[in-house]
Amino acid sequence: MLLKEVVGQQEVKERLLSSYRGGRLAHTQLFLGPEGSGSLPLAIAFAQYVNCASPSQNDSCGVCPSCKKYQKFAHPDLHFYFPTTSTDVVKKEPKSELFLNEWRAYLSKNQGYATQNSWYNFLDVGNKQGTIYVRDAADIISKMTLKAYEARYKVVVIWLAEKLNDQASNKLLKTLEEPPDNTLIMLIGERYELLLATVRSRAQLVKIPPLSDHTVRDWLITSNVEPQTAELVSVQANGNLNKALDLLEHAEEEQSNFMLFRNWLRQCYKPGSYVEIHRTNQELAKLGRERQKSFLRYGLQTIHNALTINHNSGHLVKAAGEELDFTQKFAPFINQANQQQMASLFEEAIYHIERNAHAGILFTDVSFQLVDLIMQGRRVVQKK
Ligand SMILES: [Zn+2]
């Protein structure tokens, strides 16, 4: 990673560069910053800089052989240690070295912006929490005793030092105190109070603040996010770039759910629009399972909102603009009876999707039942 690819953190970058230029580079450093502040990408970019063959005043060249390997997170003198746990593939004695391929793929996907949740999701380990084990500590020590292959500095990055268990920390104390020559140990931590005092005291602290709202907003805008959305998301993200990206993804998903759902209902309402309904069903069948479930949950919420509006409690509905307008127009066709039937229909569909139902058949079936239920609502409206 280039330093300029790390979002914001200008002051920290300058401090790191000046300590390096001044020959004051500490050999064990603790990059301490909250989730989404960029502590890990910053550490990697800085390590790339000190190993670059032709760096400029402020950044690596990005093209020398060392930079090229660093960009892929795969330099022979760059070693990563991070929390792991047992998985379907590594059934026992997990440790970082057994997950290097996954780790590199994960870092590439997120440009180094790692979070515990997204890493465990990437490994598909559910709610299991990872640890950095004494096996990892032993690997670190053995890596240190080897001479660097080609780099000026051999670099060991320990992501989430608070996940080092007691045994691992104890085993590492001497190494942290006095790493071999030309070695940099970069501990990355999020929560100071969870780090063992013995580990903290051996590292030079590099404090990384959360990003400012305007840094997050400007970065989103340069990444082609609508200014209005960027503004909203950056305020909610609280300086956490990962959270901003999650919020954005969620907002996009909600928007796409809305468009699809509105289309679908209009078609189900319009007599004889079988061809259009069939086309929408095909589109729904192509979405992944998680997205299909999210679409149906969106439908459940909208039907519920319509009923809420009918009960004169529209102020409780969290929708605005086009979405609110649509829900208000749709509300007259919803009553207690058909709302309950629609809700069971969608809930059952979610149940079947989770059990691998054939999505094409499932959505066709749901559509025809929905046509009936909307017709019932329409008859009620006409009688009034
Ligand atoms: Zn370079």
Mean pLDDT for 151-176 is: 95
Residue 66 Cα to ligand 1 middle (Å) = 6
CA of 383 to the centre of ligand 1 (A): 76
pLDDT in tens, 245-261: 999 988 888 889 999 99
Judge if 251 and 165 occupy the same domain: no
**Per-residue pLDDT reduced to its tens digit, 90-141:** 999 999 999 999 999 999 999 999 999 999 999 988 778 899 999 999 999 9
Same domain, 199 and 344: no
Distance from Cα 326 to the centre of ligand 1, integer Å: 55
Total domains, the chain? 2
The beta-strand segments (E) located in the chain are 28-32, 78-81, 154-159, 183-189, 204-207
Residues 204 and 247 in one domain: no
Q: Is residue 222 part of a domain?
A: no
Q: Identify the pLDDT of residue 384.
A: 64
CATH number at residue 266: 1.20.120.660
Q: What percent of the chain has pLDDT over 70?
A: 100
Q: What is the DSSP string of 147-195?
A: PPSS-SSEEEEEE-GGGB-HHHHHHHHHHHHSPPTTEEEEEEES-GGGS
What is the DSSP secondary structure assignment for residue 96, as one 8-state letter? G
Residue 61 has pLDDT above 90, yes or no: yes
Report the alpha-carbon distance of residue 108 to residue 10 in Å, rounded.
Answer: 23
Ligand 1: distance of its center to the CA of 5 in Å?
Answer: 14
pLDDT at 149 over 90: no
Higher pLDDT, 286 or 149: 286
| Domain range for 29 | 3-210
User: In angstroms, what is the span from residue 78 Cα to ligand 1's centroid?
Assistant: 15
Asked if residue 203 and residue 85 are part of one domain, the reply reads: yes
The more confident residue out of 290 and 341 is 341
Last residue of a domain, one of 210, 227, 257: 210
For residues 96 and 170, state if they share a domain: yes
217 within some domain: no
Dist. CA 116 → ligand 1 center (Å):
30
Tens-place pLDDT, residues 313-360: 888 887 777 888 999 999 999 999 999 999 999 999 999 998 988 999
Task: Find the range with the poorest average confidence among 99-108, 153-162, 229-238.
Answer: 229-238
In a domain? residue 85: yes
Same domain, 156 and 46: yes
Q: Which of 37, 14, 40 is nearest to 212 (CA)?
A: 37
CA of 153 to the centre of ligand 1 (A): 13
Q: Are residues 136 and 276 in the same domain?
A: no
Q: Do 135 and 93 share a structural domain?
A: yes
CA 152 / ligand 1 centre spacing (Å): 12
| 215 domain-assigned | no
The pTM assigned to this predicted structure is 0.76
133 and 259 in a single domain? The answer is no
Separation of 61 CA from ligand 1 center, angstroms?
Answer: 4
205 shares its domain with 76: yes
CB 367 within 8 A of CB 284: no
* Mean pLDDT on 364-378: 91
Whether residue 235 is contained in a domain is answered as no
We report the CATH number of the domain holding residue 101 as 3.40.50.300
d(CA 147, ligand 1 centre) in Å: 21
Do residues 175 and 252 both lie within one domain? no
**If you measure from the C-alpha of residue 2 to the centroid of ligand 1, how many angstroms do you get, rounded to a whole number?**
9
